[in-house]
Amino acid sequence: MFGNLEIAELSSSNAGPRTQLNLHTSVVHKIYKNIEELNAYVRTHSSILLFCVLVNLNDQNVHVDLDYLISEYCVLAIFVSGSLPYNSQLNGQKIFPVQKELAASKIKSGIIQCLKKAARERLQLNDIMGGLFLMWKSHDLEHTMFTNSQVDPCHVLIIPLNTTYGNGTDFQCSFITLCNNLFPDYKPIVSPIYDYLPPNDNNDFYENPDANILCNYVKNTFPIRIYLIGNETCIPDSMCKYIFEHDETYTLVENEPISDNIRMNLHTIINFGRSLTHPIKQLYEFENDCEFFCAMERADADRKERIKRAALEMGRQIAIRSESPIRFSNKARRTIKSKSLLSVI
């Protein structure tokens, strides 16, 4: 199966390098700069290859016509990354909006399902050896790390709440200076959440079907999470609000002086449904905070392992989701029934 599967990524020449997927060594990942080139390749290889397609929505691809790829039985699924409304059904076809941080895990989950489906069909045809081999392949892949999260996790993650961009950058600079003075043996990395996940100020993150997966990814990858509060009367990014509401170990920090009105109404502004039991800290309070010192030492010691653990957990959550990552269109089902996928495996 692996030798007959390709990841075809549609990305224009100015869209940067291909999406990092950390694929199984025998899964080919190719870039196509326009839809005509991709369609032509699929058309000439449809009898010998299976495809998962990853489309990066940018200025060149935002209006791309995917009808041909949808109709082809050899195209298992099309994952679209970009600014799409999360409740979009995309014509009910085998196209799925996905944030690029989850693309690799969703592709892996889709491949595993296809392997298991093919294995069951082989066993029903009394091909015991072929069925067991494909089932073994699926189990082997389940234990393989398969992630596009090739990032260097920071020591401290800053998540802005009701604050401005300028206040956030000012606080980041101040916290970096503080950490450099407190921990001269290594170079602490202090980053905003937007270094790892894109802003979500145009969509409602609560409607994102992968909201919980992304939230847990943040909590598993970044053990020191600082929520920066400010003087705004709302939280502009629903992603930051969602993560805060699902974080039991949050740390609230004030950088610019908070007005009395904001302080009195902070519970209403940044949190609904539970009391704010953690105090608001000032920057200088971290200088003599023993818990912070211990947390930083642990964060530095396990930085490389954190991203692996978080990626595996993210993949596990995707795999157990009740909704299949691949929903074939009616036309695709009819084609598959008449010409089994087994013929190209």
- Whether residue 292 is found in the same domain as residue 160: yes
- Whether residue 284 is found in the same domain as residue 207: yes
CATH of the domain at 113: 3.40.50
- Whether residue 172 is found in the same domain as residue 279: yes
Question: Does 311 have pLDDT greater than 80?
Answer: no
- pLDDT in the model for residue 215: 92
- Whether residue 176 is found in the same domain as residue 291: yes
Give the percent of the chain with pLDDT over 70.
Answer: 78
Establish if 309 belongs to a structural domain.
no
The rounded mean pLDDT for the chain is 80
Establish if 206 belongs to a structural domain.
yes
- Whether residue 107 is found in the same domain as residue 221: no
- Whether residue 145 is found in the same domain as residue 88: yes
Alpha carbon distance 140, 270 (integer Å) = 44
Pick the range with the lowest mean pLDDT from 25-39, 92-106, 150-164, 224-238: 92-106
Question: Does 75 have pLDDT greater than 50?
Answer: yes
Q: How many CA atoms lie within 13 A of 257 on its CB side?
A: 2
What pTM did the predictor assign?
0.72
- Whether residue 215 is found in the same domain as residue 335: no
Alpha carbon distance 321, 344 (integer Å) = 28
- Whether residue 26 is found in the same domain as residue 136: yes
- Whether residue 174 is found in the same domain as residue 85: no
Establish if 315 belongs to a structural domain.
no
- pLDDT in the model for residue 52: 84
Alpha carbon distance 180, 182 (integer Å) = 6
Q: Average pLDDT for residues 146-151, to the nearest whole number?
A: 55
- pLDDT in the model for residue 81: 78
Residue that has been written with the tokens 């043996």 in this structure: 185
Establish if 312 belongs to a structural domain.
no
- Whether residue 113 is found in the same domain as residue 196: no
Establish if 208 belongs to a structural domain.
yes
CA distances from 57 to 70, 178, 207, 309 (A): 17, 39, 20, 29
Q: Average pLDDT for residues 34-48, to the nearest whole number?
A: 90
Pick the range with the lowest mean pLDDT from 57-66, 128-137, 294-303: 57-66
- Whether residue 188 is found in the same domain as residue 280: yes
- Counting the structural domains of the chain, the total is 2
- pLDDT in the model for residue 208: 85
Q: Quick one: which of 7, 112, 122, 102 has its CA closest to 54?
A: 7
Q: Quick one: which of 210, 277, 275, 204 has its CA closest to 241?
A: 204
Domain hosting residue 129, numbered range: 2-149+324-340
- Whether residue 240 is found in the same domain as residue 336: no
Q: 120 CB contacts (<8 Å, ≥6 apart)? A: 131
Alpha carbon distance 193, 65 (integer Å) = 33
Establish if 306 belongs to a structural domain.
no
Establish if 11 belongs to a structural domain.
yes
Token output for 125: 């045809």
Q: How confident is the model at residue 141 (pLDDT cuts 50, 70, 90)?
A: confident
Establish if 238 belongs to a structural domain.
yes
Three-state DSSP string of the chain:
CHHHEEEEEECCCCCCCCCCCCCCCCCEEEEECCHHHHHHHHHHHCCCCEEEEEEECCCCCCCCCCHHHHHCCCEEEEEEECCCCCCCCHHHCCEEECCHHHHHHHHHHHHHHHHHHHHHHHHHCCCHHHHHHHHHHHHHHHCCCCCCCCCCCCCEEEEECCCCHHHHHHHHHHHHHHHHHHCCCCCCCEEEHHHCCCCCCCCCHHHCCCHHHHHHHHHHHCCCEEEEECCCCCCCCHHHHHHHHCCCCCEEEECCCCCHHHHHCHHHHHCCCCCCCCCEEEHHHHHHCHHHHHHHHHHHHCHHHHHHHHHHHHHHHHHHCCCCCCCCCHHHHHHHHHCCHHHHC
